[in-house]
Amino acid sequence: MIAKKIGVVAPLEDLHAQAVRHIAEKNGNCIFHFCSDAVSDLPSTARFGCEERMPSQLIDSTGTQHSIDEFSTLWWRRPYAAQRVIELAHSSRDESEVINNSARLHLEGLFRTGFRGRFINDPSAAQRAEHKLVQLHSAEAIGLRIPQTISTNDYDVVQSFFEQVAGDAIVKSHFNSATLQIKTSRLTRDMLANEASVRISPCIYQKFIPGTEHLRVVALKDRHQAVRFLSDEVDSRIDLSHRATPYILDANLEHKVFALLNELNLDFGVLDFKRDVSGALYFLEINQQGQFAFLDAVAGTSCLPMVTEFLLSSGPRDHAHT
Amino acid sequence: MSSNRGDKQNKSVTVEYNGTKPIVMVGVWPHDVKMLNSPDELAEWERRMEAFTGVKYDAKAIIQGGGGCCGGDQDGMCDMVQ
């Protein structure tokens, strides 16, 4: 009989990883935490080409060693994290790059080659789903309404788009990182005066959606919870001043949410929508490991228990990973 | 550094890139995100999070740790921190 263990790969102080572990333990279950930012403290080994095949070994946050083949489910929450040791070592920029990339590639390689269970989410699917253009393309393909969008660094195209939407446009980045977060902003004629600034970096330009209602949907393969925010500003993750309430999706939207997860080959995702002044709902983006713990605090949902239960009840897929 | 634009009307236009900031780093949203500021607001959030998760968190540290991408409309919300 194969032992069924559940693991999460995330930084040591990851709020979501700690919260689901706490909920699991309260119910007599265990979720093991593999710290993606503490590789130097928690060594791990993968072996190849040996006479006797040995499963990869790794140590969890409590210092306990595990064989990777003992696990049936792995929450691939935040596998790529800056290593904590860099600050202790006062590493140079080049050294930091080596340390971080070595940790990332080792951990990912170890899990991709040794883990035979179910990733939440599959690493390849997760990487693909991080692309905003892929998200929009897939959302449109399954019938979700999306804002008029271009991704370009062609100055003429941007100018033409700006005029076409009568100046009601936003510009957003393809990427953010933990250290560099670039806010979406309204596009102005002044910003467009500098052609070089358009050409130097392709961006996403969208027609601005006027409205005050935002939906955040935390979706798993077979279950979801949603929260509605009412505000003419998008609240922060921990803004208690805006009205936030649990929201029931209609059957059509629910179906499309699951269809999008399926289209992107994801088991988990956090989707953002905005409703315009005419009532039309627009898909904005999906974060394949988006934040959701704060929703329980601000709106009284039970997303953390839902995700915990999903992890504990998930089994291996027919095709675990590629 | 500059380069020829290769204009569609066969007009040669030189684009100067020296010191250029990408357009996505130029703009600002017309209003700032409302963040929790007062000790009471932060304490209330921490209380709620502890009630829901069983874990004590430092709200100020979380704000300072990131989440700036949550600030603009049509941004979606941040997935990069914690």
Mean pLDDT of A193-202: 93
Which among B15, B30, B70 has the least Cβ separation from residue A234?
A: B70
Chain B residues in contact with A211 by the CB 8 A cut-off are: none
| Residue A69 per-residue DSSP state | G
Q: In this complex, is the C-beta atom of B62 within 8 Å of any C-beta atom belonging to chain A? A: yes
Mean pLDDT of B48-69: 61
Q: In this complex, is the C-beta atom of A185 within 8 Å of any C-beta atom belonging to chain B? A: yes
Give the Å distances, CA to CA, from A283 to A148, A168, A273, B50. Answer: 11, 18, 5, 31
Which among A78, A233, A304 has the least Cβ separation from residue B33?
A: A233
Q: Which amino acid is at A232?
A: D
Instruction: Estimate the crossing angle of helix B39-53 against helix A15-26, to 10 degrees.
Output: 40
Note which residues in 18-37 of chain B have CB less than 8 A from chain A.
20-36
Q: What is the pLDDT of residues A163-175, one digit of tens each?
A: 999 999 999 889 7
Find the farthest-apart pair of alpha carbons in chain B and give their distance in angstroms, rounded. Answer: 66
Q: What is the pLDDT of residues A69-118, one digit of tens each?
A: 999 999 999 998 889 898 888 889 999 999 999 999 999 999 999 999 99
- Give the count of alpha carbons within 13 A of A322, CB side only: 4
Contact between residue A274 and residue A281 where contact means Cβ atoms under 8 Å apart: yes
Q: Which amino acid is at A305?
A: P
| ipTM for the complex shown | 0.72
Q: How far apart are CA A3 and CA A74, in angstroms?
A: 14
Note which residues in 203-262 of chain A have CB less than 8 A from chain B.
203, 206, 208-209, 216, 233-242
Give the global pTM.
Answer: 0.85
Q: Which residues, in sequence order, are CB contacts of A92 under 8 Å at separation 6+?
A: none
